[in-house]
């Protein structure tokens, strides 16, 4: 490609038009930042004034919400050709209003505008949907839950609470009968099993000895006593070894003394 044609290409980053466009975008971005900072300072000043007046300030609106709402408004204006009456609905939160209340209010206003201006299928569909629960259908039920699909109270199934009657015989059996797991445990624990027989009645002469040994092994006091006994046994063995060593040393010393006297 000839170099003198490169500057005339639209995709060339050094094109004068592209350079001007970049500078214009940077200037617009800086202006938006200044306006954003100015709006933030103005909003903070207004909130301070409300606090100084002794009033409760409303929830602060995040700047990201503002940008999102502006983008949504631009998109709706482009889709509707700039005529959208819905764009005039105030989507910002009012003082004392949370996100859910704002969404419900906006939905009501949009539905009202569509019913007045649209006329046609949307109005008829809205009337058909709201006919089942009445024109003034509540958005919340008795428990405070949001009603997404209204239900006609006339068609709603009625559930009646029936009193459960218990016969005297059944009540007596219910009071007397123990749990299914209590009877077996109670029978096993209450049975008198001989000490020299097992649970099946077979001869087991060492049953009592094993039981006592098992109880002793599980008793912490017996474990302490066994430890003390082992310690004493170890101490006696150590003393015995020291005594034998002392005797051997004394015998060896006597032998050396006897040999020394014999040489003299």
Model confidence over 185-244: pLDDT tens digits?
445 444 555 666 766 777 777 787 888 888 877 888 888 888 899 999 999 999 999 999
Q: Pick the more confident residue, 12 or 90.
A: 12
Does the global pTM surpass 0.85? no
From 112-116, 122-126, 221-225, the region with the lowest mean pLDDT: 122-126
Q: Give the Cα separation of 92 and 39 in Å (integer).
A: 15
Token pair listed for 88 = 């005039």
* pLDDT attached to residue 213: 82
Q: Give the Cα separation of 71 and 77 in Å (integer).
A: 10
Q: Pick the more confident residue, 197 or 42.
A: 42
Q: Give the Cα separation of 198 and 211 in Å (integer).
A: 11
* pLDDT attached to residue 132: 46
User: Could you say which DSSP state residue 60 is in?
Assistant: P
Q: Which of 60, 70, 44, 71 is nearest to 93 (CA)?
A: 60
* pLDDT attached to residue 245: 94
Q: Give the Cα separation of 212 and 232 in Å (integer).
A: 24
Mean pLDDT score of the chain: 71
Residue 204, exposed/middle/buried by CB under 10 A (0-12, 13-18, 19+)? middle
Determine the average pLDDT of the residues in 135-155. Answer: 68
* pLDDT attached to residue 55: 79
Q: Give the Cα separation of 7 and 17 in Å (integer).
A: 10
Residue 72 has pLDDT above 60, yes or no: yes
């Amino acid at each position: 490609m000839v170099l003198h044609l490169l500057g005339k290409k639209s995709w060339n980053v050094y094109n004068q038009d592209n350079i001007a466009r970049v500078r214009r975008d940077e200037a617009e971005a800086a202006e938006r930042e200044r306006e954003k900072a100015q709006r933030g300072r103005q909003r903070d000043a207004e909130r301070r004034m409300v606090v100084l007046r002794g009033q409760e300030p409303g929830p602060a609106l995040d700047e990201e919400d503002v940008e999102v709402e502006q983008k949504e408004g631009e998109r709706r204006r482009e889709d509707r050709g700039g005529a959208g009456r819905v764009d005039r609905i105030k989507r910002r939160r009012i003082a004392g209003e949370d996100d859910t209340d704002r969404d419900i209010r906006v939905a009501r206003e949009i539905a009202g505008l569509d019913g007045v201006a649209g006329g046609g299928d949307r109005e008829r569909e809205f009337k058909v949907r709201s006919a089942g629960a009445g024109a003034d259908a509540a958005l919340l039920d008795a428990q405070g839950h949001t009603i997404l699909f209204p239900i006609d109270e006339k068609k709603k199934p009625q559930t009646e609470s029936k009193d459960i009657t218990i016969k005297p015989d059944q009540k007596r059996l219910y009071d007397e009968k123990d749990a299914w797991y209590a009877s077996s445990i109670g029978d096993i624990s209450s049975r008198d099993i001989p000490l020299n027989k097992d649970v099946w009645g077979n001869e087991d002469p060492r049953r009592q000895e094993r039981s006592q040994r098992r109880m002793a092994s599980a008793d912490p006091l017996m474990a302490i006593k066994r430890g003390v006994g082992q310690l004493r046994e170890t101490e006696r063995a150590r003393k015995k070894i020291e005594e034998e060593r002392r005797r051997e040393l004394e015998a060896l010393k006597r032998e050396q003394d006897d040999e020394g006297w014999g040489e003299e």
